[in-house]
Amino acid sequence: MPSDVEAWKDELYGTDIRAEIERFAETGWETIPDDERDAWFERFKWYGLYHQRAGQESYFMLRIGPPGGILEPGQFRVLAELAKEYSTGPVPNPEFGNGWLDVTTRQAVQLHWINLEDVPAIFDRLDEVGLSAVQACGDSWRNIVGCPVAGKDKHEHVDAHTLAHDLHDEFKENEAHSNLPRKWKVSVTGCDEGCGQGDINDLAFEPASKEIDGETVRGYNVRVGGGLARNEPRFARNIDVFATPEQAVEVAGGISALFRDYGNRENRYAARIKFLVDEWGPEKVREVLQEEYIDWELETAGEDLRSEYSYNAGDATGKHDHVGVHEQVDGAYYVGLNVLVGRIGADDALELADVADAYGSGEVRLTQRQNIVLTDVPEANLEGLLAEPQLETYSPDPHPFQRGSIACTGTEFCSLSIVETKNRQVRFSRWLVDNVELPEGVENFHIHLSGCTASCAQPQIADVSLRGMKTRKDGEPVEALDIGLGGGLGENPQFASWVTERVPVDEVPGAIKNLLANFEAEREDGQSFRAFVLERDDDELADLVEPEETSYDDPFMHNTKRTWYPYADQDALDESPAPATPDGSPLPSDD
Amino acid sequence: MSSGATSAGACWSCSERVGVVITGRWQNTGIRAPTPAITTLGHALGQLLRLSRSHNYRTGVCLPAILTILSVTRLDKVCSSRWMHTDLQPQSGMAISVRTLDDGAWISINDSREVGVSEVWTLPAGECCSCRLAPVLLEGFTDVSIDGQEVVAGVVGQCLECGTRGSIDRLPVGRVGEGPTTERGRNDRRFRRYAPEAVSTRPTATHARDSP
C-alpha cells in the first residue's frame, strides 16, 4: 500500500504547490488546518521549505540550490541580504550570532528561522536574480552537484559546467520527473581530480574518453546507486554506459524515468535507487534503460580518469579541496576560502560579496566541503584580496584541522539528529589547533561530524568520521559520538570503519589526539593516515583510539534534542516562543 | 445547504435513495474536499466513511478512501449513476491518523509530532538485547499503527549498554483515548505517550531481532 506521502504527492505536487504556499503565507501559518499540516509540510519541501523541529513550529529552513554551486555575480549578495533580513531567530547562536547562511555539502545554501509569511517576498527576490528553491528538498531532482570550478579549472577533461546547467534546465519543474519515489541526487564531474564526488550520488556522470568511429570522444561514464544514509552506504555502481555530452541529458532522463517507474513507492526506507540497483544489479539497470528508455544503442563505458582522482582521496597527489590560490585556464585565479562548518554570518557574507566584486568578477562558488571560491581574480588583484580582513576568518590557508572540518545541521534545527554538531565541531577544531601537533607531512586531515545516520556531513568518507550517538557517563545520559576511521574517495573509495562507538563527546578531542600520537609512533616513514588505517583491522584500530577527558570543555553534553533551542538560557521545550508570527508574537498552540 | 447532523433519503435516478455530496477530510490526502454526488443513509457528522470507490480530488484517479464527514449537502436532482450504488460503510471508532514523518524522525498523531527519535527508552531483556533493563536509543521509526487503544511503532535502535543494534517490530509508544468533539464534528482521540523510562507500566514490545 502506498505511503501517506505518496497519496499526498498524488493529490497535489510540483509547481502547483507554490500557489498554496502563497495562499497560506497570505492568511498566516496558523491558518494551515491542524489536520492538514503533515501533508502540507511534506509538499512544501518541493519548494525548498522544511519545517523545523519540535519546539520551533512555524519556522522553516529554506534551501536554495544553484547548479554546480555556481552563484553568478550578484547572487551571493542577495542570499546574504535575505539572511540578514529574514533569517533571524528568537535568540542568537553563541558562535554565529543571529542571521547567517549555511553552505551545505551539496553546494546549496540554507537559511533558518524563515517565517512562511515572508516566503513570497523571498521567492520574488530569488526570481529577480535567477535563483530558485525549486526541488531543493522533496522527492525529485535535487541540486545538481559537480566541480565547483567547472569552466575555470586547468584539470578539466570535459565541460561539467554546461552539463550541470543543461540538467538543471531540463529537469527542474519538469512534470514528468517532478514526482519520484524518493530524492534524486545527481553529480557531474568533468575534471581529473574527482571533485564532483559522484560515487556517493544516485546518478553520477564521470569524465571518460571513448573511441567511436575511429575518433576519441570526450564524455561521461555513468554510475548509478550511490548514497550514504541509514547505515546502508553504497558507492555508485558502474552500469557500463558512456554518454557524449550531447547524449548525457537524454541518458539522465532515461535513468530518472526508470527510477520513477520501478522505484519502491510502498516503503520509503527502501525507495532510493541504491536498493533497486542492489536488487537488479547494474547489468539489469543497463538492460532496462536500453530496452525501455533509450532509442539508440548505448555505448559501453569509456576509459575513465579515476586513477588520477585526488579530491578527498587520502594520500593521492593533487588537490584534495579547492582552498587556496589556484590559476584558472584563462590566466586569472580562483581563491578558495575556508568556511568552518559552512556557516557565514550575514554581515560577513555581505563583506565577502564586496570582496568578490572588488577583486574578482563577483562570482562566488560553493564546494562540497562547505567552502566558497571567489573566481576570476586577475593576478594583479591577488595581493589586495589576500590582505582583506575577512580572509583572516575565511582563510585561503587555514590550519588543516579547520580546513578538514565538516558538520551537518544537528539538533539546532534538525528532527533526525541525535546530537549538537556545528558549534561542537567549531570547539573541537579550536581545541585541536591549540593542543595537537599533526604528524609531519600530514597536510589534509578530514574530520566530518554528522548528527545521525542520515549522513548529511558525509561522515563515512573522512579520515576521522564522527556520528551522533548517546551513552551514559557517571550514570547520566550524555551526547556521544561513534568514531570511524579510514574513509575517503579517490580511485579506490573506502567507507570508514566504525571502530569505537559511544564515546562521550567530551572525550572525543582526547581520542583524536591519542590516535594521531599513536599513528605518528607506529607508522612507517611517510605513510599516509589512510594507508596506515587500511593496513590494520578494526580491533587494532580501536586500540589506537583512546578516548580521554582533556582540557576540552563541552557545554552541550545534555540532551539538546529536548530543548527548543540548545543555546537559549531557558531552553526547555515548554519555554519555546514558537509558534510565532513574523514579528515574534506568540501564536496559540495545543502542543 | 449543509445538514445539521444526519442525512437520509433516496436516490433520484432509481427513486430509492437521495443523492448527496459529502464534504469531508480525506484521510489519504489530508485535504478537505467534496465527494462527487453519491448516495448515503443516516451517517452522523464526524463519523468516518469508507468509499469503496472514490474520486481523488483534482486528479480524477479512483481510489478506495476514507473520509471524515464534515458536512452533507442534499441534492435536488443531480446524481451520477457512476456513484449511485457506491457502498458507504460507516467506520467504527473516531478520527485518528498516525504516520511516521521526515524520514522516520517522528511519529505524528493527528498531524501533531508526538514521539521523536533520539530518546533513550528503557526496555526489558529480550526486546532488543539480553541486557536486563536496556537503555535503547531510538534512531528511526520505520512504521506506526494502532492496535486497539495502543499506538505501536516499528523502530531501529541501539542498546547503549551492550551496543546491540536491532529492530523492534512493535514498540508500544502510547495510548489513545476519548477526546472532545470539535466544532467541525471531529472527535479527536487524545494521545498519551508512554514515558521512555517507565518500563514497568508499559506493555512489552514484540518481535525483537538483531540486525545482521
Beta bridge partners of B20: B38, B74
Query: Cβ(A454)–Cβ(A468) under 8 Å?
Result: no
pLDDT at residue B147 in the model: 85
**How many percent of chain A have pLDDT more than 70?**
99
Q: How do residues A191-212 score in pLDDT, each as one tens digit?
A: 999 999 999 999 999 999 999 9
Is A415's CB within 8 Å of B106's CB?
yes
Q: How do residues A486-496 score in pLDDT, each as one tens digit?
A: 999 999 999 99
Distance in angstroms (rounded) separating the CA atoms of residues A574 and A591: 9
pLDDT at residue A315 in the model: 72
Distance in angstroms (rounded) separating the CA atoms of residues A174 and A125: 22
pLDDT at residue B182 in the model: 54
Query: Cβ(A479)–Cβ(A420) under 8 Å?
Result: yes
pLDDT at B88 over 70: no
Best residue in A29, A42, A59, A416 for a mutation probing chain B (most B CBs within 10 Å): A416
Q: How do residues A2-31 score in pLDDT, each as one tens digit?
A: 788 999 999 999 999 999 999 999 999 999
- pLDDT band per the 50, 70, 90 thresholds, residue B30: low
Q: Residue holding cell 537503555?
A: B135
pLDDT at A100 over 80: yes
Q: Chain B: nearest CA to A414, how far in angstroms? A: 9
pLDDT at residue B27 in the model: 64
Best residue in B113, B161, B193 for a mutation probing chain A (most A CBs within 10 Å): B113
Contacts of A211 (CB under 8 A, 6+ apart): A217, A302
pLDDT at A554 over 60: yes
Specify the higher pLDDT residue, B12 or A429: A429
Q: Side-chain half-sphere of A320: how many Cα atoms within 13 Å?
A: 20
Closest partner residue to A38 (CB to CB) among B58, B101, B104 is B101
The least confident of A235-239, A470-474, A510-514 is A470-474
pLDDT at residue A519 in the model: 97
Best residue in B25, B67, B103, B189 for a mutation probing chain A (most A CBs within 10 Å): B103
Report the interhelical angle of A346-359 vs A75-86 (nearest 10°): 160
What's the N-to-C CA distance of chain B in angstroms? 60
Distance in angstroms (rounded) separating the CA atoms of residues B191 and B193: 6
Within an 8 Å CB–CB cutoff, is residue B114 touching chain A? no
Chain B residue numbers with beta carbons less than 8 Å from the beta carbon of A452 are 117-118, 139
pLDDT at residue A3 in the model: 83
Contacts of A243 (CB under 8 A, 6+ apart): A205, A219, A220, A222, A251, A298, A299
Closest CA to B163 of B137, B187, B198: B137
pLDDT at residue B126 in the model: 84
Closest partner residue to A471 (CB to CB) among B31, B113, B160 is B160
Closest partner residue to A452 (CB to CB) among B56, B112, B139 is B139
- pLDDT band per the 50, 70, 90 thresholds, residue A460: very high
Distance in angstroms (rounded) separating the CA atoms of residues B63 and B51: 9
* Average pLDDT rounded to a whole number, residues A215-227: 97
Tell how strand B48-55 and strand B32-34 pair up.
Answer: unpaired
Is B30's CB within 8 Å of A10's CB?
no
Within an 8 Å CB–CB cutoff, is residue B55 touching chain A? no
Q: How do residues B108-152 score in pLDDT, each as one tens digit?
A: 998 889 999 988 999 988 888 999 889 999 999 999 998 888 899
Distance in angstroms (rounded) separating the CA atoms of residues A294 and A290: 5
Q: How do residues A404-441 score in pLDDT, each as one tens digit?
A: 999 999 999 999 999 999 999 999 999 999 999 999 98
- pLDDT band per the 50, 70, 90 thresholds, residue B93: very low
pLDDT at residue B204 in the model: 73
Q: How do residues A141-182 score in pLDDT, each as one tens digit?
A: 999 999 999 999 999 999 999 999 999 999 999 999 999 999
Within an 8 Å CB–CB cutoff, is residue B174 touching chain A? no
* Average pLDDT rounded to a whole number, residues A123-147: 97
Q: Chain A: nearest CA to B170, how far in angstroms? A: 17
Closest partner residue to A33 (CB to CB) among B32, B63, B119 is B32
In DSSP notation, A392-420 reads HHS-SS--HHHHTEEE--GGGT-SS--S-
Within an 8 Å CB–CB cutoff, is residue B110 touching chain A? yes
Within an 8 Å CB–CB cutoff, is residue A472 touching chain B? yes
pLDDT at B13 over 60: no
* Widest CA span in chain A: 72
Q: How do residues A361-379 score in pLDDT, each as one tens digit?
A: 999 999 999 999 999 999 9
Q: What is the dihedral of CA A578, A581, A586, A587, to 10 degrees?
A: -90
Closest partner residue to B117 (CB to CB) among A3, A416, A502 is A416
Q: Chain A: nearest CA to B16, how far in angstroms? A: 33
Which conformational region is residue B94 in: left (phi greater than 0), alpha (psi within -120 to 50 degrees), or beta?
Answer: beta
Query: Cβ(A418)–Cβ(A468) under 8 Å?
Result: yes
A503-532 burial, b if ≥16 CB within 10 A, otherwise e? bbbbbbbbbbbbbbebbeeebeeeebbbeb
Closest CA to A556 of A439, A449, A442, A422: A422
Chain A residue numbers with beta carbons less than 8 Å from the beta carbon of B63 are 7
- ipTM for this model: 0.86
Most confident of B21-25, B29-33, B129-133: B129-133
Residue of chain B nearest A560, judged by CA positions: B118
Chain B (68-87) residues lying within 8 Å, Cβ to Cβ, of chain A: none
Distance in angstroms (rounded) separating the CA atoms of residues A509 and A518: 14
- pLDDT band per the 50, 70, 90 thresholds, residue B1: very low
Is A38's CB within 8 Å of B111's CB?
yes
Beta bridge partners of B66: B50
Closest partner residue to A39 (CB to CB) among B29, B110, B139 is B29
Phi, psi angles (nearest 5°) of residue A60? -130, 150
Beta bridge partners of A218: A209
Which conformational region is residue A176 in: left (phi greater than 0), alpha (psi within -120 to 50 degrees), or beta?
Answer: alpha
Q: How do residues A441-458 score in pLDDT, each as one tens digit?
A: 898 899 999 999 889 999
Q: How do residues A394-414 score in pLDDT, each as one tens digit?
A: 999 999 999 999 999 999 999
Cell of A460: 563515512
Is B112's CB within 8 Å of A34's CB?
yes
The least confident of A85-99, A174-188, A538-552, B92-106 is B92-106
Report the sign of the C-alpha dihedral through residues A250, A251, A257, A260, in that order: negative
* Average pLDDT rounded to a whole number, residues A544-559: 95
Distance in angstroms (rounded) separating the CA atoms of residues A270 and A287: 22
Q: Could you give the domains of chain A?
A: 4-128 (3.90.480.20), 150-308 (3.30.413.10), 324-398 (3.30.70.3340), 403-558 (3.30.413.10)
The least confident of A37-46, A223-232, A337-346, B4-13 is B4-13
SS (H, E, C) A482-511: EEEECCECCCCCECCEEEEEEEEHHHHHHH
DSSP H or E stretch at residue A207: strand A203-212
* Average pLDDT rounded to a whole number, residues A242-260: 98
Within an 8 Å CB–CB cutoff, is residue B102 touching chain A? yes
Best residue in A38, A45, A228, A411 for a mutation probing chain B (most B CBs within 10 Å): A38
Question: Helix %, strand %, coil % for chain B, to 5?
Answer: 5, 50, 45
Is A8's CB within 8 Å of B113's CB?
no
Residue of chain A nearest B105, judged by CA positions: A416
Chain B residue numbers with beta carbons less than 8 Å from the beta carbon of A590 are 112
Tell me the average pLDDT of chain B: 68
Specify the higher pLDDT residue, B179 or B83: B179
DSSP H or E stretch at residue B19: strand B19-26
Closest partner residue to B28 (CB to CB) among A7, A54, A590 is A7
Q: Side-chain half-sphere of A409: how many Cα atoms within 13 Å?
A: 26
The least confident of A68-72, A161-165, B99-103 is B99-103
Cell of A495: 567507507
Distance in angstroms (rounded) separating the CA atoms of residues A467 and A450: 5
pLDDT at residue A591 in the model: 46
* Average pLDDT rounded to a whole number, residues A117-131: 98
pLDDT at residue B50 in the model: 64
Closest partner residue to A11 (CB to CB) among B59, B139, B186 is B59
How many beta-carbon contacts under 8 Å exist across A and B? 108
Report domain extents, chain B: 19-91, 98-210
